[in-house]
Amino acid sequence: MNNKKRLIFCDSLPAAELCPKIAAGGQDCLFIALTPDVKVRLQELRLPVSDTLPYFPSVAHEKALHASKEAVDRLRFQINFVDLGLGLKTAYRDIFIYWFRFVVHYCLFMIELINAAIQQHQPSEMIVFNYCQTGKNGIYVEPEDNYLAELIKAISEKAGLDYKIVQVPKAGIFPTHLLSRAKQLAGLFRIRVYGKDLKSNPSTRPIVLTSPTYRMDKLAKDLAKEFPSRPVTFLAGALSMDIDLPGWLLAFLSGGKSAELKEQIKMCAEFSNKVANERSGFVYKGVCYADILADKIKKYYTGFVLMLLLASLLLDRELGCLNPEAVLSNVSRIDDLLLAELCQAKNIPNILLSHGSHVKPKNTAEIIEWGEHGIQFLSAPFSHIAVQTPTTKQYFDAFPTDAELTKTGPVTWGTKVDRSRSGALFQSLFGKKFEREKVKIIMHAGTPKASGSLRFFVYETCDEYIQGIRELAEVVNQSDNLLLVVKFRPSKEISVATLKKLIPFSDRVVLSVVEPLLDVLGLADLVVSFSSTAIDEALQNCIPVLQYGGVGRYQHLKAVEIGDEALSPAAVFHLNGQDDLHDGLQRLFALKLDPSIFDPYIYPKTECKSIAQLIKEKVRIT
């Protein structure tokens, strides 16, 4: 046990700048950084710092997940929504629960972490920050919500510890979002006031795609060639749920539904009060977090619900104006579930092309996680679903759907790589120090979840993500025949500068940020990941995968375990910890892998239909 007199929980960079003054008190202290960016800044300030890894082990992930299920099931049917007469049945509730679940997860994560830190260090005083700049609305919990201070206070009082709250002064913030919000509002006015301008020619009803993201823009071009006499277009951008509109503007945009909006505000207030009063239903490790949930409902999620109602009205109007022959969705918009139910009510064929990978659960924890995840991404009432891989089909074996499933092979992901580009990229990343034919190249790609958007079991925390990369990089740096490319997408808790400080990059270990994923994948002899669509991207290109990270708690796909036994050829491997990583990689690369081992993950072309064929046969568009 490493006793410390004071534990200081730091959750933002502005708070980190106040930490040297706290440390100057001279008492033995430990700063617990809740994000990697904060950890690096505290290290730069030469302060004693720990990340979250010692306080949130794998067993805690599963305990928190089961507590989440109990809380979310309690919430799921307590909130009510007004009926706008659009034919929507479950979309409002499902969208609300999907996002509000992250608020529950934040509370459970912090309670688990704080209690573990107290148990390990036996402090006499707890210190946390309180932000003067409040009212920063958002789907996720932000430091400015000051919920961490509430939890520290409750846990300290329960444990009989002193606690101190340090004020973080206001910081000037330039509202860079205002221009985009203004453009969006202009688009809303166009739909509301000038909707008749959007009317399509009844003889050439368009094919509508929901978003150009995740390669849907390429699909739109392909469909335009396949259906040259028919318009192929995109919906207007999704309505932001963060716009705080005045009542008169909401009433105007809603087209005479102001009474229903007022009724919804009343329903949300009743829901918030019910959550606050039902305290026994929201307790974890003896700590009640009901007040935090109720406060977030009042401060943000009431507005969120109103914007969902408004979004449904505007989507209904836009669909009425466009009168599409079919709608193709990749579920990358916050309102895709609304759109699916609206299409169902209007008898408009709605085809889903999921932008991510979903797999068949192998245990109770995975059933919970993938079940909740699928409600937002796969379970809406689509008329047809493009099944891009056999693993996706296995998901629907576990979670059946009423939609008609059609094998398409990869459309929005899983595209074949162009290996002719790899030579130039190899030189760009590694220079001339290594000969390509004498080395094996590993690509690491992952999808870490920030503290405000945790999924406890099937994704890594940011600290777990960095730990996995660091362990892999240390092994590669000690090898003679291995190179590593870390494919990285910066996030609000891990910047490029932070990653460079925490990972031992070298001639052998390089960072890729701007290079396209498929180009880097074309270089790879092996993909290492914990849970990511990159796993499926690799398998579609007959590149083996090593599932690694999170202390081995999760296997995205069933895999051959790398252990003491003889290693069999496979497409997917799994390894628990760093001790076996060096030997495991060498044994893996020594295997002769026949291309046929990838067949279970790839649909034969003879069994697949293109999206154009699906539209022609199922929607009967010519």
The owner of tokens 């440390």 is 23
Give per-residue pLDDT as tens, 236-287: 877 666 667 777 777 787 778 889 999 999 999 999 999 999 999 999 999 9
CB 136, CB 173: distance < 8 Å: no
Interstrand relation of 545-547 and 560-561 (parallel, antiparallel or unpaired): unpaired
Q: How far is Cα 333 from Cα 356, in angstroms, rounded to an integer?
A: 13
Average pLDDT for the chain: 90
Output the CA angle 467-535-594, nearest 5 degrees.
120
- What residues does 32 pair with on adjacent strands? 9, 50
pLDDT of residue 202: 55
- What residues does 478 pair with on adjacent strands? none
For residue 607, count other CB atoms closer than 10 A to its CB. Answer: 9
Q: Is the pLDDT of residue 113 over 50?
A: yes
DSSP H helix total and E strand total for the chain: 22, 20
Point out the least confidently predicted range of 45-49, 74-78, 468-472: 74-78
Phi and psi dihedrals of 238, rounded to 5? -60, 145
Confidence at 110, pLDDT banded by 50, 70, 90: very high
For residue 550, count other CB atoms closer than 10 A to its CB. Answer: 22
Q: What letter represents residue 362's amino acid?
A: K
Looking at the chain, the whole-number percentage of residues with pLDDT higher than 70 is: 92
- What residues does 442 pair with on adjacent strands? 484, 526
- Tell me the DSSP string of 303-349: HHHHHHHHHHHHHHHHHHHH--SEEEE-S-STTHHHHHHHHHHTT--
Q: Is the pLDDT of residue 107 over 70?
A: yes
3-class SS of residue 105: helix
Q: How far is Cα 19 from Cα 10, in angstroms, rounded to an integer?
A: 8
Looking at the chain, the whole-number percentage of residues with pLDDT higher than 90 is: 74
Confidence at 168, pLDDT banded by 50, 70, 90: very high
Confidence at 194, pLDDT banded by 50, 70, 90: very low
Segment 33-47 mean pLDDT: 97
CB 561, CB 574: distance < 8 Å: yes
pLDDT of residue 201: 53
Segment 602-609 mean pLDDT: 95
Q: How far is Cα 59 from Cα 457, in angstroms, rounded to an integer?
A: 10
Q: What letter represents residue 556's amino acid?
A: H
Confidence at 333, pLDDT banded by 50, 70, 90: confident
Q: Is the pLDDT of residue 387 over 80?
A: yes
Higher pLDDT, 397 or 565: 397
Q: How far is Cα 296 from Cα 271, in angstroms, rounded to an integer?
A: 12
Q: Which two three-digit tokens encode residue 328?
A: 């193709």
Output the CA angle 115-119-120, nearest 5 degrees.
120
Q: Which two three-digit tokens encode residue 478?
A: 């000690």
Confidence at 181, pLDDT banded by 50, 70, 90: low
Residues shown for the chain: 622
Confidence at 186, pLDDT banded by 50, 70, 90: low
Higher pLDDT, 500 or 618: 500
pLDDT of residue 172: 53
Segment 171-190 mean pLDDT: 54
What contacts 452, CB < 8 A, 6 or more positions away?
Answer: 102, 106, 140, 141, 142
**What is the value of pTM for the model shown?**
0.94
pLDDT of residue 173: 46
Q: Is the pLDDT of residue 222 over 80?
A: yes
Confidence at 151, pLDDT banded by 50, 70, 90: very high
Helix (H) or strand (E) holding 7: strand 6-10
pLDDT of residue 288: 97
Give per-residue pLDDT as tens, 524-564: 999 999 999 899 999 999 999 999 999 889 999 999 999 87
Count CA atoms closer than 13 A to 588's CA, side-chain side: 31
Count CA atoms closer than 13 A to 367's CA, side-chain side: 7
